[in-house]
Structure 1
């Protein structure tokens, strides 16, 4: 069982913020989803913080790889930043190799996973969500190995063609693995409760599972919630939190009560 970090104070305190995850952008080809995201960025209000909670990219093979598609995204982020939009990025299982070099180019401030923040006076713990899926033993074993600095350095030291070929094989294997499952693996509810017990009074907010929902729990006689962000298709789907409350755009989350 992985030990969870403790937070003495929120990393950020903001009056409002928008959250997206699981865009799964292909960075090697132009797609409607990329255009939808770039268009969405043009409509972000000035001075709005945007949180990107992982799997923004379908895969990532290193910050040293450039492509016209990637450059169009960097340009769209630069235009949004010129209006005062800020970006906060937390890596996912698909794009965990995004590093400080690309983040600096895109203007994304990198966050650890998990991280505590306060939005509109309410406490949140942000995570991509894959750490909650502890029933997927094969993935968790791979994750523990792939996140080792030595393993990452060895991969990034390979020539670009080898890394591209590996990413393509991994995508095919992932699709085959997911297709063989009777149903997609979801979070482990015992693990969720452990997180909620570790972080009292905070909402647990994540993506990864593509099961947009608001889950309610009773933890130590306290009513708690877990919010799950939607994945994107070719249209925008996001969560906005302001002092007046939370609004889901492009999707209606399921409401699930856990006793």
Structure 2
């Protein structure tokens, strides 16, 4: 049994190298007994599952990319790989329609899972960045069902324009923020792990791949060792994964395309 976790591919029509790198990754790893968790920001933006209905008629290329990714995922699923999707801060509008078309299961965020025999909390990670108050306010709005319904009711060209505007605003805002504000809040990490009674947390979002050892309070108040693993973001020439083989400790791996 092999478990793979990846995040922050930010697939976009203007970054075909990453898309091809992802397809090659699927081809290398597709096998029965392999679970692949895509834990957020698989797409750089997602404006609704109905985008796929446009196909090649969408001049932006987003629809064609979405259809192509769904087809490749479905092929992997049909070949025996189990696929799981989780929302990120860029693709929080991913829905059941895409998941079904891709042969994948859409998970809640966060999700407590048994990975390699160890209870593990899996999440995208943006909810851990509580020091970034401006982003947390936007996140609360973007997860509101009424706000989402309003966005999905807009014509697709308007949604594409909104997604582009939000990406630009995010980039401008992040350029002026202190680095520690955009990272996770340590106290929030501890609170979340203890609330879900886990000693292992795996997330993405921060683009700061690393394995962090930490200490939590045990049932009797005594300290217990724990671990936070951050999956890296994909670029035009490399990707990141967390790989868990039965009976072995998780490994955080960088690989070239």
Could you state the TM-score of these two structures normalised by the residue count of structure 2?
A: 0.87
Runs of at least 5 residues in structure 1 that lack an aligned partner in the other structure: 1-14, 252-259
Residue deviations 1:69-112, cap 9 Å, x none? Answer: 22221221122122201110110000000011111111120000
Query: Match of 1:39?
Result: 24
Of 66-75 and 106-115, deviating more is 66-75
* Contact preservation (8 Å) 2:232, 2:239: no
Partner Cα distance (1:130, 1:239) in 2: 18
Aligned-CA RMSD value = 1.5
The answer to whether the Cα contact below 8 Å between 1:51 and 1:88 also exists between their aligned partners in 2 is yes
Q: Which is helix-richer, 1 or 2?
A: 2
Matched, 1:57 2:43: yes
Per the TM alignment, residue 29 of structure 1 is displaced from its structure 2 partner at its CA by 4.3
Moved more, 73-82 or 220-229: 73-82
Contact 2:233 2:239 in 1 (8 A): no
Shift of 1:183: 2.2
Gaps of at least 5 residues in structure 2 are 53-62, 218-222
Q: How far off its partner does 1:30 sit?
A: 5.7
CA distance in 1 between partners of 2:201 and 2:178 (Å): 27
Residue 82 (structure 1) aligns with: 78
1:70 aligns with 2:37: no
SS in 2 for 1:223: strand
Which aligned pairs between 1:164-203 and structure 2 lie closer than 5 A? 164-183=160-179, 185-203=182-200
- Quote the Cα distance in structure 1 between the aligned partners of 2:214 and 2:250: 18
Counterpart position of 1:153 = 149
SS at match of 1:19: strand
1:114 aligns with 2:110: yes
In the alignment, which residue of structure 2 is the partner of 1:226? 228
Q: TM-score, normalised by structure 1?
A: 0.87
CA–CA distance in structure 1, aligned partners of residues 155 and 120 of structure 2: 40
CA distance in 1, matches of 2:121, 2:178: 30
Partner of 1:5: none
